[in-house]
């Protein structure tokens, strides 16, 4: 079975030779490195270029962390968090909290500035041994830096400076940034985020791979899946056979036809954080110069009972992309009931996945009838291999799509605006004039 299939039969888009040609040009730019943001294209060949020694080193470091800690606190935000969180959630047990814990757990921090969250984290790990992975490409992002200062202090209190150096791993730039300086000074093990891989494209670097290995995910299978997709979306692959090229073409055609929102959805709640990872990938890559599809998401069928009404009958400015999983790993059947008071005996004997599938098909047709074009991405199962392919598929399509849109998909200048205001409000040294100006505005 193919690792991933794309179905555009309900998208209502006729792909013309001209569209195909433009997409081929956009795809070529990713390989020729002649397009905007060309110093951030390392991710294109990342899966096939990961050295086996690098994977072994990541696995060895993960093993060390797993041996010394019950809880591994993974600190990062945006692209330094979402990839690992997405795969860990997808591969984890939804009800792990109810089961006796046999394995170390990975928890996340530094993705917010919430005092409640941080207090609860510190309180929850009080009676557990802990270790930390701190991730920041720039090494200067406020949220993870603050969280790391707090977690580092806690680790040092418990294990001393030398013990902390055994329990903290930093993943950052090879040479620049406060985190690099700090890690060198403290003697932490470090992994490098390559210069030519931006945060949101970094899931297949140590940024995603170390936390996932620490969480017990088979990272070799993840990388193999991505590598397969790298081949399946290569420059030489025929357009119709390249799902990333087709997806990028269709979503851009829909955008040009007036659709402004793309909703990514899935009928598997375990994939919810894949949506969040995808939102950053596409939002930061395409939302600029006054352009870009707004990436939104739903988890189904839950959100049919909240957003379903709007999707069916609200503004006709959206289309949907559904990530569909062919086969669940486990079986649950609906039983027959002698009294049938709930009237559900017509479902007796069926697997829940059959009901879920009928919901999916029914919703697809209803939404298409309601003016919401539908794309379907089918993966065979929720496995490390299939997720690796899915992640790379979305990355490749994003690079192509950004070039089709005419933006630089590899920068994010807009993210700086809030930081300037926050630093001014917090009276960061060097921001004195901004502090004065913002205070005036808040009077
Ligand atoms: O890894 P860093 O440098 O801490 O950045 C985290 C995230 O912040 C951003 O730079 C946006 O501020 C994202 O692009 C990035 O993924």
- Tell me whether residue 28 is in a domain: yes
pLDDT tens for each residue of 30-46: 999 999 999 999 999 99
**Among protein residues, the one whose CA lies closest to atom 8 of ligand 1:** 78
Q: Tell me which of 417 and 377 has the higher pLDDT.
A: 377
**Is residue 443 annotated as a catalytic residue, yes or no?**
no
Q: Do 360 and 352 meet the contact criterion of CB atoms below 8 Å apart?
A: no
Q: Which pLDDT belongs to residue 26?
A: 98
403 and 275 in one domain? yes
Overall number of domains in the chain: 2
In terms of Cα–Cα distance, which of 223, 199, 206, 225 is closest to 65?
206
Is 145 in the same domain as 253? no
| Whether residues 211 and 270 fall in one domain | no
pTM (two decimals): 0.97
171 found inside a domain:
yes
What confidence tier does 443 reach under pLDDT thresholds 50, 70, 90? confident
Q: Given 291, 419, 420, 436, which residue is catalytic?
A: 419
Check which CATH number belongs to the domain holding 107 and give it: 3.40.50.10490
Separation of 344 CA from ligand 1 center, angstroms? 49
Q: Are residues 357 and 391 in the same domain?
A: yes
CA gap 362, 251 in Å, rounded = 22
Ligand 1 centroid vs 107 CA: distance in angstroms?
Answer: 19
Domain limit, last residue, from 217, 243, 273:
217
Looking at the fold, whether 291 and 186 belong to one and the same domain comes out as no
Residue 303 lies in a domain: yes
Asked whether residue 432 is domain-assigned, the answer is no
Q: Are 20 and 240 spatial neighbours (Cβ–Cβ below 8 Å)?
A: no
Answer yes or no: is pLDDT of 434 > 90. Answer: yes
Sequence-distant (≥ 6) Cβ neighbours of residue 357 within 8 angstroms = none
Q: How far apart are CA 131 and CA 215, in angstroms?
A: 13
- φ, ψ at 130 (rounded to 5°): -130, 155
Determine the Cα–Cα distance for residues 171 and 205; give it in Å rounded to an integer: 10
pLDDT tens profile 317-365: 999 999 999 999 999 999 999 999 999 999 999 999 999 999 999 999 9
Contact of 214 with 73, CB cutoff 8 Å: no
Same domain membership, residue 196 and residue 320: no
365 in Cβ contact with 213 (< 8 Å): no
Q: Residue 79 CA: which ligand 1 atom is closest?
A: 16
Average pLDDT, the chain: 97
Q: What percentage of the chain carries pLDDT values higher than 90?
A: 98
- Residues 129, 160 share a domain: yes
Centroid of ligand 1 to alpha carbon of 388 (angstroms):
22
164 shares its domain with 242: no
Closest C-alpha to 313, from 386, 366, 262, 249: 366
Identify which of 78, 140, 195, 276 to mutate to test ligand 1's pocket (most ligand atoms within 8 A of the CB): 78
Task: Please indicate, yes or no, if residue 419 is contained in any of the structural domains.
Answer: no
Q: Which of 217, 243, 258 corresponds to the end of one domain?
A: 217
Residues 74 and 164 in one domain: yes
The CA-CA-CA angle for residues 187, 147, 58, to 5°, reads 45
In this structure, the answer to whether residues 193 and 88 fall within a common structural domain is yes
From atom 7 of ligand 1, which residue's Cα is the shortest distance away? 78
Taking 90 as the threshold, does the pLDDT of residue 72 lie above it?
A: yes
Which stretches does DSSP call E strand in 49-166?
71-75, 105-109, 130-136
Task: Return the residue whose CA atom lies nearest to atom 11 of ligand 1.
Answer: 415
Task: Using the mean position of ligand 1's atoms as its centre, give its distance from the Cα of residue 191 in Å.
Answer: 17
- Residue 423 located in a structural domain: no
Query: Confidence band (pLDDT; 50, 70, 90) for 1?
Result: low
User: Ligand 1: which of 37, 43, 80, 111 to mutate, judged by most atoms within 8 Å of the beta carbon?
Assistant: 80
Residue 29 counted as domain residue: yes
Q: Is 419 tagged catalytic? A: yes
Considering the domain architecture, whether residues 189 and 258 belong to the same structural domain is answered as no
**C-alpha angle 244/249/250, rounded to 5°?**
100
Q: Are residues 108 and 167 in the same domain?
A: yes
What are the Cα distances from residue 343, in Å, to 339, 340, 352, 355, 360?
9, 5, 16, 15, 22
- Non-local (6+) Cβ contacts of 162 within 8 A are none
What digits encode the pLDDT tens for the residues 224-241? 999 999 999 999 999 999
Residues near 392 by beta carbon (within 8 Å), at least 6 away in sequence? 47, 204, 225, 226, 227, 229, 230, 233
Distance (Å) from CA 142 to ligand 1 centroid? 10
Q: Identify which of 43, 75, 77, 203 to mutate to test ligand 1's pocket (most ligand atoms within 8 A of the CB).
A: 77
Instruction: Report CA(202)–ligand 1 centroid distance (Å).
Output: 11
**Given 185, 217, 249, which residue is the final one in a domain?**
217
Report the nearest-CA residue for atom 4 of ligand 1: 136
Peptide bond preceding 301 in cis form (omega within 30 of 0): yes
State the virtual CA torsion across 288, 110, 62, 137 in degrees, nearest 10: 40
Which residue's CA is the nearest one to ligand 1's atom 14? Answer: 199
pLDDT, tens digit, 9 for 90 and up, residues 83-112: 999 999 999 999 999 999 889 999 999 999
User: Is 359 inside any structural domain?
Assistant: yes
Structural domain boundaries enclosing 176: 46-217
> How far, in Å, is the centroid of ligand 1 from the Cα of 262?
23
For the cut 80, the answer to whether the pLDDT of residue 117 exceeds it is yes
- Residues with beta carbon inside 6 Å of ligand 1? 77-80, 136-138, 141, 144, 199-200, 284, 412, 415
> Which atom of ligand 1 is least distant from the CA of 412?
14
DSSP string of 260-328? -EEEEEES-GGGHHHHHHHHHHHHHHH-BTTB-PEEEEEETTGGGGTTHHHHHHS-S-EEEEEEEES--
| pLDDT classification of 3: cutoffs 50, 70, 90 | confident
């Amino acid at each position: 079975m193919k690792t991933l299939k794309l179905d555009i039969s309900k998208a209502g888009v006729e792909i013309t030779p001209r569209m195909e040609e433009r997409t081929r040009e956009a795809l070529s730019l990713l390989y020729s490195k002649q397009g905007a943001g060309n110093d951030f294209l390392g991710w294109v060949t990342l899966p096939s270029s990961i050295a086996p020694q690098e994977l072994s080193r990541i696995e060895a470091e993960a093993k060390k962390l797993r041996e010394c800690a019950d809880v591994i606190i993974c600190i990062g935000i945006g692209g330094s968090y979402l990839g690992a969180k997405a795969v860990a959630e997808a591969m984890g047990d939804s009800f792990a909290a109810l089961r006796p814990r046999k394995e170390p757990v990975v928890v996340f921090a530094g993705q917010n500035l919430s005092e409640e969250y941080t207090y609860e984290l510190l309180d929850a790990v009080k009676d557990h041994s802990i270790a930390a992975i701190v991730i920041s490409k720039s090494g200067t992002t406020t949220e993870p830096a603050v969280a790391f200062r707090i977690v580092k202090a806690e680790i040092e209190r418990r294990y001393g400076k030398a013990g902390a150096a055994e329990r903290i791993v930093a993943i950052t730039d090879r040479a620049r940034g406060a985190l690099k300086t700090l890690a060198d000074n403290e003697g932490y093990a470090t992994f490098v985020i390559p210069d030519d891989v931006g945060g949101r494209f970094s899931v297949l670097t140590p940024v995603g791979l170390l936390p996932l290995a620490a969480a017990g995910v088979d990272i070799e299978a993840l990388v193999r899946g991505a590598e397969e997709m790298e081949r399946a979306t290569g420059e030489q692959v025929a357009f119709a056979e390249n799902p990333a090229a087709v997806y990028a073409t269709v979503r851009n055609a829909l955008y040009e036809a007036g659709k402004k929102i793309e909703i990514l959805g899935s009928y598997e709640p375990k994939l919810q954080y894949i949506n969040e990872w995808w939102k950053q990938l596409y939002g930061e890559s395409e939302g600029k110069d006054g352009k870009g599809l707004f990436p939104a998401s739903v988890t189904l069928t839950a959100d049919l009972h909240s957003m379903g009404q709007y999707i069916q009958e609200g503004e006709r400015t959206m289309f949907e992309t559904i990530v569909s999983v062919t086969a669940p790993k486990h079986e649950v059947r609906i039983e027959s009931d002698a009294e049938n008071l709930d009237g559900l005996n017509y479902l007796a004997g069926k697997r829940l996945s059959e009901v879920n599938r009928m919901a999916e098909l029914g919703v697809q047709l209803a939404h298409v009838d309601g003016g919401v074009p539908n794309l379907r991405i089918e993966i065979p199962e929720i496995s490390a291999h299939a997720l690796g392919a899915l992640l790379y598929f979305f990355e490749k399509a994003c690079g192509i799509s950004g070039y089709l849109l005419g933006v630089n998909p590899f920068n994010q200048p807009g993210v700086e605006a809030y930081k300037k205001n926050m630093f001014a409000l917090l009276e960061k040294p060097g921001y004195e004039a901004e502090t004065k100006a913002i205070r005036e505005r808040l009077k």
